[in-house]
Amino acid sequence: MAPISIRTVLISESVDPRCRAILEENGIRVTEKQNMKKDELIAELKDYDGLVVRSATKVTADVINAADNLKIIGRAGTGVDNVDVDAATKKGIIVMNTPSGNTLSAAELTCALLMSLSRNVPQAVMSMKQGNWDRKKFMGSELYGKVLGIVGLGRIGKEVASRMQSFGMKTIGYDPITPVEVSASWGVEQMSLDQLWPQCDYITVHTPLMPSTVGLLNDETFAKCKKGVKVVNCARGGIIDEAALLRAVESGQCGGAGLDVFVEEPPKDRNLVDHPNVISCPHLGASTKEAQARCGQDIALQIVDMVKGKSLVGAVNANVLASTFSQESHQLIKLGEAIGAVLQSCTASQTPLSQVHVINQGDCMKSSTGYMTSAVLVGLLNHGSGCSSNLINVLSLAKESGIMVNQTHCASDGAAAENVCKVEIVANGCSYKANGSVQCGVPILLELSGSVFRQPVALTGNLLFFKASASPQLLSSVAGLLATAGVEIESFSGPSDRTGDLWYCVGVSSPLPDLGALKSLVKEAAQLTL
């Protein structure tokens, strides 16, 4: 990936001072401005390339759509539910988090709540402060030998498992992504949720908040659990249905809950918070000096590494960019964009574009299939249209435009150019094709809609393409017309074949002022600057 230019960053919440220091040490101008209202944030953000937030700043679609210069939103923490990721993606803005910054702090708080539930520690503390000495009232139970169900076996789930195993707990879990053999190596036996619920003495959730996890623990799932099961949520409010949890606690089906997060923060409905069997905290999962320092430093370092073209870590909506940090990938992206731009120019009168098929041929192209398809689409949609697509948003923009996109990879066919990008598009019912490769670091065009060039076209500078029947006078006639317009020929590529209407390419010193002047000499003509 070509380095993204980030010159200015707005930090809208309190983060570790090292965040600002790291950014400024790397030439990025930083402004810190906290406690802004939505309108104030919108007005301020228009001047910045980057935004760094924690969890309080709500980066809504309105905020994103008003920020014309914004290229990256950095979340100093894990969850990004305060950022409209879909709106950011649609606008081509990277959303980045610090996936490991608060892992240990969140895991430790989870363990603290599990232990507090087992021994009624907070309730006993409050009783002592009220002048009481009631040992029988706060009879607890050991964690040793109990079953802990961990829903979500990512970084935090793994750390919770290792710590609670030290207390002699049996750890079981569920995760749709983590392989069974991987979690087994941590001592966690994976199973389905329906198998997990009835076995657990304690349940802790460590999933993101998404449609599939909203209300994961509800009336139906509580009914499947052991009577008296205890639950902990240090992930996101809403994963446990709060109304269902209150009913389960009141009935005794749930023996207690430890909550660090709520659907509404702070919660206006105090029924859960005030219940004697519920331990609650004001979202303290990442509230340690170490986690805040780690998250602040991590987000700054990740932004700097991205700007320098070193790596991309923590991008939640830009997986296509992960493998675009080598010089080879930069060249291939330029190739894809150039092929797309050539096809767009040569089919400008043929609308609408309905299909795009990208075939990457050769061993070196196998890992590039994802970003090559996006690069081709950027060239097709951006060139001459005023569209502002990039590798992040172009697939969603193509889908919105009704363009069917297919991508495949195949082995080399033994041709001179081993690694080739082949593109076929359908516009207004007609098919157009282009094949290209990279030669000595320069993107080249090998073939255009059946015309195989004797000398590959270097896809750089001002290029004039025209389609015509071969004749001895063709080149001299075109050269004369260009000379009359004050345009010099710098290169010429003709087709290997000499029969029928074929495509030619002329490298020129400047674009032809009036492309229509060629009408008497050629069937079709297009020009572009790369």
Q: What is the DSSP string of 150-194?
A: EE--SHHHHHHHHHHHTTT-EEEEE-SSS-HHHHHTTTEEE--HH
State the pairing for strand pair 462-469/524-529: antiparallel
Residues 6+ apart with CB under 8 A from 510: 462, 486, 487
* pLDDT tens digits, one per residue of 50-79: 999 998 899 999 999 999 999 999 999 888
Q: For residues 68 and 515, give the distance between their C-alpha atoms in angstroms, rounded to a whole number.
A: 34
Has residue 21 got a pLDDT over 90?
A: yes
Flag whether pLDDT at 414 surpasses 70.
no
The strand order across the sheet containing 462-469 reads 489-493, 501-508, 462-469, 524-529
The DSSP bridge pattern shows strands 489-493 and 254-259 to be unpaired
pTM comes to 0.76
Pick from 457, 492, 495, 496: nearest CA to 478 = 492
Residues with a catalytic annotation lie at 236, 265, 283
Q: What is the mean pLDDT of the chain?
A: 93
pLDDT for residue 85 is more than 90: yes
CB 316 within 8 A of CB 85: yes
What is the token pair recorded at 300?
């700054």
Q: What is the pLDDT of residue 35?
A: 93
Please state, in angstroms and as integers, the Cα–Cα distance from residue 527 to each residue in 83, 127, 516, following that order. Answer: 41, 82, 11
Residue 473, amino acid = Q
Q: How far apart are CA 94 and CA 302, in angstroms?
A: 12
Residue 259 has pLDDT above 90, yes or no: yes
Q: Which residue has the tokens 């790397």?
A: 26
The pLDDT of residue 384 is 56
Q: Looking at the predicted structure, is the pLDDT value of residue 415 above 70? A: no
- Tens of pLDDT, residue by residue over 447-488, are 999 999 999 999 999 999 999 998 888 989 999 999 999 999
270 Cβ contact list (under 8 Å, min separation 6): none
Q: Which residue has the higher pLDDT, 185 or 322?
A: 185
Residue-wise pLDDT tens digits, 361-376: 887 787 787 789 999 9
Q: Which residues pair with 341 in a beta bridge?
A: none
**Could you give the angle at which helices 369-382 and 327-346 cross, rounded to 10 degrees?**
40
Task: Report the chain's terminal Cα–Cα distance, integer Å.
Answer: 18
Report, as an integer, the average pLDDT of 83-94.
94
Report the alpha-carbon distance of residue 147 to residue 170 in Å, rounded.
Answer: 5
Q: How much of the chain is helix, strand and coil, in % rounded to 5?
A: 35, 25, 40
The answer to which of 253-262, 357-366, 454-463, 485-494 has the lowest mean pLDDT is: 357-366
Alpha-carbon distance of 441 to 439, in angstroms, equals: 5
- Range from 87-96, 265-274, 415-424 carrying the lowest mean pLDDT: 415-424
pLDDT higher than 70, residue 16: yes
Sorting pLDDT into bands at 50, 70 and 90, what band is 2? low
